[in-house]
Chains A and B, each alone.
Chain A
């Protein structure tokens, strides 16, 4: 089903900088929708280091990644942004003019189409995607013998399945697929697992009862004439190798960030970063802005606080695109009744 949504601004990325942009735009009466590929908001803060302390957010001597995200969500609540999680922006098409930009923005598999006046890219290091292990020719088996996620369990019924990894995904799918697989093998680099203890116990009991195999080592190469996978050569720590027969391999090596489709939107790029000016944080395409870790300019520091500043300045220019007839009055939240009304705190 295709949704068509008309809005002022689409923000790509629900990390701290994208979230704070909602606030700055909201103060200027600009409505936005936020798209993120992850199933939750917070970006790297929530995905990579939710428990890690951050010490350089102004006004917070210490805040955790998740704590910062929770506070930002509370701060932007008055503006009721709409989030589109588990979605990736695939294409951006300019349908306006440089003076009055308009864009048609489509997310993965055309799930959602937005028509907007400005686009703010706050995508950090890019979109989170499964980490692909550096194994020769692995791409040739992707989609037939190699999968980085399980969409339909039944695809693996009566298959010889090789799962690689030692985290929650690897262990969860090991115990879930073991009953339907012809034979299940779990491969990990060491005999320690950072997954829920009861899942690890379950896996160990399946190994003890002979209902699945556990091997320690790394995949050195794949066997079978691509795209048909027949097995994997496993290298142990002592350098010796052995083979495991498999029809499918599921590597669960966590997530990494890739620039992805952003590279195809006609934006200038410099080493996978988007050059912007430091007045408006606008890209070479009028109406498309880039803020936070994904942009670059002379003196750029990849700090969350820089991204907050960038969002505030970008919002000023966005206002001119969204309300070309209106003069923008600069106001403070401490003193402006109109801003306080927007925040729902007016006396």
Chain B
């Protein structure tokens, strides 16, 4: 067991219990924070876009070409990732992410 820290679009930080084998998108969605995850984790919609705290970037598997293609459809920062493509493992205990803004 472990946790992730998620800062929502109002700047409030939430500490969520994480479950091994769940995608970070699924953890955020299951706790009821506003993340759309329209395509259900198929890496096809980029509505689960998050910014990952710099210190955690090297601990993640790098984005696949497929994820990069989807990141092309949102306004990114260098620390942008799709949270459906981050599988939570105990090594990610304490992972810090921020929900990216969404257009209207």
| B interface majority secondary structure | loop
For chain B, the count of residues having a C-beta within 8 Å of the partner chain is 23
B:63-104 near A, CB below 8 Å: 68-69, 71-78, 100-104
Q: Which residues of A contact B100 (CB under 8 A)?
A: 134
A194 at the interface (CB under 8 A from B): yes
Q: Which of B47, B68, B76 contacts A218 (CB 8 A)?
A: B76
Stretch at the interface among A44-52, A82-90, A92-100: A44-52
Give the docked Cα–Cα distance between A138 and B103 (Å): 9
Q: Which of B47, B78, B103 contacts A237 (CB 8 A)?
A: B78
Q: Which residues of B contact A192 (CB under 8 A)?
A: 68
Q: Which residues of B contact A165 (CB under 8 A)?
A: 72-73
The reply to whether B72 and A302 contact each other, CB–CB distance below 8 Å, is no
Give the docked Cα–Cα distance between A194 and B73 (Å): 11
Give the docked Cα–Cα distance between A257 and B40 (Å): 13
| A interface majority secondary structure | loop
Q: Which residues of B contact A78 (CB under 8 A)?
A: none
Q: Which of A49, A134, A188 contacts B39 (CB 8 A)?
A: A49
A139 at the interface (CB under 8 A from B): yes
A68 at the interface (CB under 8 A from B): no
Q: Which residues of A contact B76 (CB under 8 A)?
A: 189, 218
User: Closest 6 CB pairs between A and B?
Assistant: A132-B103, A134-B101, A254-B73, A48-B44, A253-B73, A166-B72
| B-binding residues in A (CB < 8 A) | 44, 48-49, 52, 125, 131-135, 138-139, 165-167, 188-190, 192, 194, 218-219, 237, 253-254, 256-257, 302
